[in-house]
């Protein structure tokens, strides 16, 4: 019973020996002989090299760590499998496999794809999410006007910009109550539901109280900069039944943990598998196509981890950054129905304003679902035509 970690190590002719040294050093051993170590201790606690597969630039190494070495939490697991190893250049942690007992200690998403679709009553198309842009330095009347315009354009979800924190003009709780009022009114008028993910921010020790109060005030979702706080903090929020809201995990800062060629975590592990395991209902990460991009292989790898069969609810993929309507068919081809289309500039930068900006996305989504080309769909959607005139159509090369 335990954890199997898969790494890429810099190639070495003596890799088996090196891997063995790390397996010992990361568990019960040290850099030198420890005379008092007993055979029995070694048997129960030593890391075991399972395989070494030589590669051209990197060798793939798998090491098994006994579950007796760790408590059932990611801080203990990370420190064991990658703690000291993280100081060595060129060592990547690309996957972790957990035994069933250990896996059962993690919550997974409270809602996930199924629960969020149920909350919204939308089952047959990718969801559309907007990002508030330009709210910093503006007050609640601006915030309200933006939200009203976006809802009129047909968005399903909206999130704060991840860089909007506690401030006097749009205080956290006021954003929650203001958004609730507008979203409720929209529902009464149109029958369409929407979720607003307010940015849960501030000091770690205040997060639970803040999120619980937001729940009491009628918040519908939380945005959380998970890598600024750590995955374990997200897990604790997910496990708090007094909160019970969908959590949108934003991947800001994960670039230093996963985006460094040749070291760190792999994106699929960090932003995919682990984010889902600790309870992210939606995982937001850069798409391969916009102004902040990760490789297509990484983006598809994240999605694979968000949907693979593992007993947890599926987590929505939210490929983001620089998204515009001309990317919708490609995003749909890449991510299937596990997709939330997420745009800030692609809605607010629309030449006719945010309502047509959102309408252009909805037209692109409907066309893509029905296998109609965007130029064809634009013949009956002026907002889509104007978006295509502005940004064109993007296809993976
Ligand atoms: C990868 C981060 C994307 C994000 O959070 C964000 O705010 C994007 O904004 P736009 O859509 O690029 O304007």
Radius of gyration (Cα) for the chain, nearest Å?
23
Pocket residues for ligand 1 (CB within 6 Å)? 131, 161-162, 286, 292, 320-323, 343-346
Q: Which residues are catalytic?
A: 84
Report the candidate in 329, 247, 240, 326 with the shortest Cα–Cα distance to residue 280.
Answer: 247
Q: Which pLDDT band, with edges at 50, 70 and 90, does 32 fall under?
A: confident
The Cα–Cα gap between 351 and 386 comes to 7
Q: What are phi and psi of 40, to 5 degrees?
A: -65, -40
When pLDDT is averaged across residues 102-118 and rounded to a whole number, the result is 97
When pLDDT is averaged across residues 101-118 and rounded to a whole number, the result is 97
When pLDDT is averaged across residues 220-225 and rounded to a whole number, the result is 98
What is the whole-number distance in angstroms between the Cα of residue 18 and the centre of ligand 1?
42
- Ligand 1 atom closest to residue 342's alpha carbon, by position in its atom list: 11
Burial environment of residue 71 by CB neighbours within 10 A (0 to 12, 13 to 18, 19 or more): exposed
DSSP 88: S
The pair of three-digit structure tokens given for residue 267, joined into one six-digit string: 């994106």
Nearest CA to ligand 1 atom 4: 321
Write out the residue limits of the CATH 3.30.70.150 domain(s) in the chain: 2-103
- Number of C-alpha atoms within 13 angstroms, CB side, residue 227? 21
What is the whole-number distance in angstroms between the Cα of residue 320 and the centre of ligand 1?
6
The Cα–Cα gap between 140 and 175 comes to 7
What is the whole-number distance in angstroms between the Cα of residue 328 and the centre of ligand 1?
15
Q: At 71, is the secondary structure helix, strand, or coil?
A: coil
Q: Which pLDDT band, with edges at 50, 70 and 90, does 222 fall under?
A: very high
Ranking 4-8, 85-89, 116-120, 216-220 by mean pLDDT, the lowest is: 85-89
Could you read off the pLDDT of 172-189 as tens digits, one per residue? 999 999 999 999 999 999
Q: Which pLDDT band, with edges at 50, 70 and 90, does 35 fall under?
A: confident
The Cα–Cα gap between 198 and 321 comes to 19
**Cβ–Cβ < 8 Å for 228, 252:** yes
What is the whole-number distance in angstroms between the Cα of residue 68 and the centre of ligand 1?
42
Residue given tokens 């939380």 in the structure block: 222
CATH class of 112-391: alpha beta
Pocket test for ligand 1, best of 249, 286, 289, 321 (most atoms within 8 A of CB): 321
Taking the complete model, does pTM exceed 0.85, yes or no?
yes
Ranking 171-185, 205-219, 255-269 by mean pLDDT, the lowest is: 255-269
When pLDDT is averaged across residues 137-164 and rounded to a whole number, the result is 97
First to last CA, the chain: 43
The Cα–Cα gap between 274 and 308 comes to 12
Higher pLDDT, 134 or 389: 389
pLDDT at 49: 97
When pLDDT is averaged across residues 358-375 and rounded to a whole number, the result is 98
- Number of C-alpha atoms within 13 angstroms, CB side, residue 116? 35
> Domain 2-103 classified CATH 3.40.50.2300?
no
What is the whole-number distance in angstroms between the Cα of residue 322 and the centre of ligand 1?
6
- Ligand 1 atom closest to residue 323's alpha carbon, by position in its atom list: 11
Pocket test for ligand 1, best of 129, 130, 131 (most atoms within 8 A of CB): 131
Write out the residue limits of the CATH 3.20.20.110 domain(s) in the chain: 112-391
Q: Which pLDDT band, with edges at 50, 70 and 90, does 236 fall under?
A: very high
Higher pLDDT, 24 or 123: 123
Nearest CA to ligand 1 atom 1: 286
**Cβ–Cβ < 8 Å for 285, 318:** yes
Whether pLDDT at 29 is above 80: no
Average pLDDT, the chain: 95
Q: Angle at CA 26, nearest 5°, toward 22 and 32?
A: 70
Whether pLDDT at 42 is above 80: no
pLDDT at 46: 87
Q: Angle at CA 138, nearest 5°, toward 250 and 225?
A: 10
Torsion sign over Cα 350, 352, 353, 359? negative
The Cα–Cα gap between 332 and 60 comes to 32
Whether pLDDT at 45 is above 90: no
Pocket test for ligand 1, best of 134, 159, 285, 344 (most atoms within 8 A of CB): 344
Could you read off the pLDDT of 285-302 as tens digits, one per residue? 999 998 999 999 999 999
Q: At 290, is the secondary structure helix, strand, or coil?
A: coil
What is the whole-number distance in angstroms between the Cα of residue 37 and the centre of ligand 1?
52
**Cβ–Cβ < 8 Å for 278, 234:** yes
């Amino acid at each position: 019973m335990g954890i199997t970690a898969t790494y890429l190590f810099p190639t070495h002719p003596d890799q088996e020996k090196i891997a063995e040294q790390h397996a010992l050093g990361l568990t019960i051993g040290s850099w030198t002989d420890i005379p008092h170590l007993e055979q029995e201790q070694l048997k129960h606690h030593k890391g075991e090299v399972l395989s070494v597969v030589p590669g051209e630039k990197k060798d793939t190494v798998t090491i098994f760590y006994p579950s007796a070495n760790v408590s059932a939490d990611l801080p203990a697991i990370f420190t064991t499998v990658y703690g000291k190893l993280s100081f060595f250049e060129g060592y990547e942690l690309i996957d972790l496999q957990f035994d069933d007992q250990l896996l059962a200690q993690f919550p997974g998403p409270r809602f996930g794809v199924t629960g969020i679709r149920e909350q919204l009553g939308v089952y047959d198309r990718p969801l559309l999410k907007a990002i508030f842009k330009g709210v910093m330095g503006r007050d609640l009347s601006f915030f309200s006007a933006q939200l009203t315009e976006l809802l009129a354009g047909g968005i399903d979800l909206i999130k704060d910009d991840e860089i909007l924190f506690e401030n006097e003009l749009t205080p956290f709780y006021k954003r929650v109550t203001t958004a609730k009022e507008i979203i409720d009114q929209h529902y009464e008028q149109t029958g369409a539901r929407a979720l607003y993910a307010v940015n849960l921010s501030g000091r770690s020790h205040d997060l639970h109280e803040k999120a619980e109060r937001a729940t009491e005030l009628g918040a519908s979702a939380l945005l959380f900069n998970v890598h600024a706080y750590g995955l374990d903090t997200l897990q604790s929020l997910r496990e708090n039944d007094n909160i019970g809201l969908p959590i949108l995990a934003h991947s800001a800062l994960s670039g230093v943990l996963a985006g460094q060629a040749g070291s760190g975590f792999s994106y699929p592990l960090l932003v995919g598998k682990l984010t889902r395991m600790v309870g992210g209902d939606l995982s937001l990460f850069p798409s391969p196509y916009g102004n902040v991009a990760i490789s297509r292989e990484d983006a598809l790898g994240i999605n694979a981890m968000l949907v693979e069969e593992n007993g947890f609810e599926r987590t929505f993929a939210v490929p983001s950054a620089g998204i515009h309507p001309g990317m919708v068919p490609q995003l749909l081809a890449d991510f299937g129905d596990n997709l939330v289309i997420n745009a800030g500039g692609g809605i607010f930068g629309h030449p006719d304003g945010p309502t047509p900006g959102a309408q252009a996305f909805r037209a692109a989504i409907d066309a893509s679902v029905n296998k109609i080309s965007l130029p064809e769909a634009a013949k009956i959607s002026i907002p889509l035509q104007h978006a295509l005139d502005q940004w064109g159509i993007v296809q993976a090369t």
